[in-house]
Amino acid sequence: MSETGNRLRKLLESPNFDPQTYVKQLSQQSDGDRDLQEHRQKIQNLADETAQNLKKNVYKNYRQFIETAKEISYLESEMYQLSHILTEQKSIMESITQSLLSTDKDETSKEMQAAFPKETEELKQRTLTSLLEKVEGAKNIMDTPGRHLVYNGDLVEFDVDNMSPIQKVHAFLMNDCLLIATWLPNRRGTVKYKYNALYDLESFAVVNVKDNPPMKDMFKILMFPDSRIFQAENSKVKKEWLEILDETKKNKASKDKHKKEEEVPMSPVRAEVSTNPFDIDDDEPVDSENTVDLSLEWIQELPEDLDVCIAQRDFEGAVDLLDKLNEYLKDQPVTPKEFTNTNRQHGAHFDSNNLLDLFFFLEEFGGQSTKACELFLNNRAAAVQTAIRQLRIEGATLLYIHKLCNIFFTSLLETAKEFEMDFAGNTGCYSAFVVWSRSAITMFVDAFSKQVFDSKESLSTAAECVKVAKEHCQQLTEIGLDLTFTLQSLLVKDIRAVLQSYKDIIIEATKHRNSEEMWRRMNLMTPEALAKLKVEPTEEMRSCGISFQQYTGDDCWVNLSYTVVAFTKQMMNFLEEGLKLYFPELHMVLLESLREIILVAVQHVDYSLRCEQDSEKKSFILQNATFLHDTVLPVVERRFEEGVGKPAKQLQDLRKSTRPVRINPDSTTSLV
């Protein structure tokens, strides 16, 4: 750079530089228009040189930018994991503190009970009656003698699936049941609540829900096969609910046990016979004339062998054992109930709390395959949902989707195989499995969309994630289950929105570049960048047949404008990612998006040809137009047809309507 240029640079870089003062002095010192034009050219040369230096710095540090971004992403993932660990540690410390406080509270409670006698049963019942008068539809609850109120309070019920608040409720805990009542929006006199549900204390279990802000102070009520989640006002109220519920359930169980022990010697003969196969009185006498010899070693070991087969998922082996037993008992006057009583006398037992035991019993002995099917599928749905919830969200979205698809579709495949084996003789249950599979895929898509589409991932990331999901879904066809259409119908809305969003982004970027277009040859600055353009125009562009080889020379110049080169790369990338996302329902969406993007570039070239007066620039613009028409558009058209298997008539019509002609440089006609 000349000495004059250096002085000018220092002047412009000065922190005290005032543009208005500088222009005023320059106007006074200049001899005329020519001096001002020369000075303007010097400033323009300095601006061009500065721009070139900035580009060199960007190219030089580009890889460092990428590596830094990756490190930031990894660091973010590690910080998330560290936060998760700290949260778990905090929860552990809080649970320890609560357990210590609970011990102190129990001792205090005992002292208070010794100091103050308990309320009379009559007073408790009177309190319950006055409260239930405020509940619509709860008049018959007090018909049970001895029922009284233990605890009550307001709670907020949350949806089990998406953890969103549903309604405000008021819970009444009595000595033998739990009443849930909803708040009435329009109160009528003293009535404030409406009856919702009544649960016997023995019919549900209470589970503490670990705090996960903002979801905290919650506990779950499990009533097979359903569950409900409630949120208390604060941690203190939640603790009281859990403690009082647990204590009340224990008191009722102890009271029922003592009552049963007192009634047994007074009632040698049972007044009624239960139809429940699990409701068997251990003390019921067994008729010796109808008993069968069960002292055989293989019969005594039969219950344990069945437990082993069920635990190992060897249901065929379990059926063989039962067939052997049925063959032995075929000519004996013994009922399943007597068989169970006799087994208990010999020390045998079945674990009725085991879900698979119950399912197996329903199918084999009860003949209720529909209930067994429902029980099995509900169990598998809960297992899949739990596995998805426990999946840790990684920093990289694609890695998370790989894990999500592997967990979900592997579980679905195993469930289908096990279902086919267990219900091979009940073809009527297969429709239930298909319905269950559709609901399961809906649950998968919810988790998938939240991570991929709601987080605004890039188009390439979204395309790869959808591709992974489709590949895993195809694996189900091995067992004759095709859920591809269901997956597509659930994803089509989000994919349509993504395609339209990125179409708008590309159009805006193209318009912005068009507004700054000077129709100059593209200068890549370095031989390395030129070689990269010749070899690299992305794997997709090379496979499609687009190459910039013929538009480059030995120097660093490209005989195309920067705008056209950038548009070509962006256009081909959008096409390839769009084909990965393609579903038949999205045919017109993708086709129209491509047409709109191409039209922006073609119209700009057409306008420039008609408005440009310089013959040399006009020839250069025509060269770019020819590249778009003869190279880019045919490749886009052919690649689209290969990807979707249908002709792209709209793209064909667009190419025909924008055919460039060999023009006279002085003419204003450009396209026909």
Amino acid letter, 449: S
Would you say residue 190 has pLDDT above 70? yes
Neighbour-count burial for 233-265, b at 16+ CB within 10 Å, e otherwise: eeeeebbebbbebeebbeebeeeeeeeeeeeee
Q: Nearest-5° angle of CA 445, CA 451, CA 455?
A: 130
- pLDDT confidence of residue 669: 44
How much is the average pLDDT of 572-594? 89
**How does residue 387 score in pLDDT terms, banded at 50, 70 and 90?**
confident
**How does residue 413 score in pLDDT terms, banded at 50, 70 and 90?**
confident
Tokens of 126: 């009177």
How far apart CA 440 and CA 178 sit, in angstroms, is 32
- Return all residues near 68 (Cβ < 8 A) that are at least 6 apart: none
Find out whether 458 and 69 touch, Cβ atoms under 8 Å.
no
**How does residue 55 score in pLDDT terms, banded at 50, 70 and 90?**
confident
Find out whether 7 and 18 touch, Cβ atoms under 8 Å.
no
Torsion, CA 625, CA 630, CA 632, CA 633, rounded to 10: 100
If one counts every other C-beta atom within 10 angstroms of the C-beta of residue 664, the result is: 9
Would you say residue 260 has pLDDT above 70? yes
- The DSSP result for 557-568, as a single string, is EESS-HHHHHHH
Q: Would you say how long the chain is, in residues?
A: 672
Number of H helices, E strands in the chain: 22, 10
Task: Identify the DSSP state of 458.
Answer: -
> Tens digit of pLDDT for each residue in 201-223?
888 888 888 787 777 889 988 87
Would you say residue 578 has pLDDT above 80? yes
> Tens digit of pLDDT for each residue in 294-321?
667 777 777 777 767 765 656 667 777 8
Q: Determine if the peptide bond prior to 527 is cis (ω within 30°).
A: no
Would you say residue 461 has pLDDT above 50? yes
How far apart CA 595 and CA 654 sit, in angstroms, is 8
Most confident of 69-73, 114-118, 373-377, 629-633: 629-633
How far apart CA 62 and CA 53 sit, in angstroms, is 14
Q: Determine if the peptide bond prior to 213 is cis (ω within 30°).
A: no
If one counts every other C-beta atom within 10 angstroms of the C-beta of residue 414, the result is: 12
> Tens digit of pLDDT for each residue in 345-370?
433 334 333 444 445 444 444 466 77
> Tens digit of pLDDT for each residue in 59-105?
677 667 777 877 787 787 678 778 777 877 887 887 787 777 766 65
- The DSSP result for 281-318, as a single string, is -TT----TTT-----SHHHHTHHHHHHHHHHTT-HHHH
Our measurement of the distance from residue 389's CA atom to the centroid of its chain's CA atoms, rounded to an integer in Å, reads 9
- Return all residues near 455 (Cβ < 8 A) that are at least 6 apart: 397
- Return all residues near 454 (Cβ < 8 A) that are at least 6 apart: none
**Sole residue written with tokens 């318009």:** 511
- pLDDT confidence of residue 232: 92
Our measurement of the distance from residue 44's CA atom to the centroid of its chain's CA atoms, rounded to an integer in Å, reads 54
Tokens of 398: 């694609």
Neighbour-count burial for 513-526, b at 16+ CB within 10 Å, e otherwise: bbeebebeebebee
- pLDDT confidence of residue 339: 45
List Cβ<8 Å contacts ≥24 apart for 429-437: 429/369, 429/370, 429/373, 432/370, 432/373, 432/374, 432/377, 433/373, 433/377, 434/481, 436/377, 436/380, 436/381, 437/412, 437/481, 437/483
* Mean pLDDT computed over every residue of the chain: 76
- pLDDT confidence of residue 109: 57
Tokens of 250: 């224990």
How much is the average pLDDT of 2-26? 78
- The DSSP result for 518-554, as a single string, is ----EE-SSHHHHHHHHH-SHHHHHHHT---GGGB-S
Our measurement of the distance from residue 172's CA atom to the centroid of its chain's CA atoms, rounded to an integer in Å, reads 36
Percent over 70 (pLDDT), the chain: 74
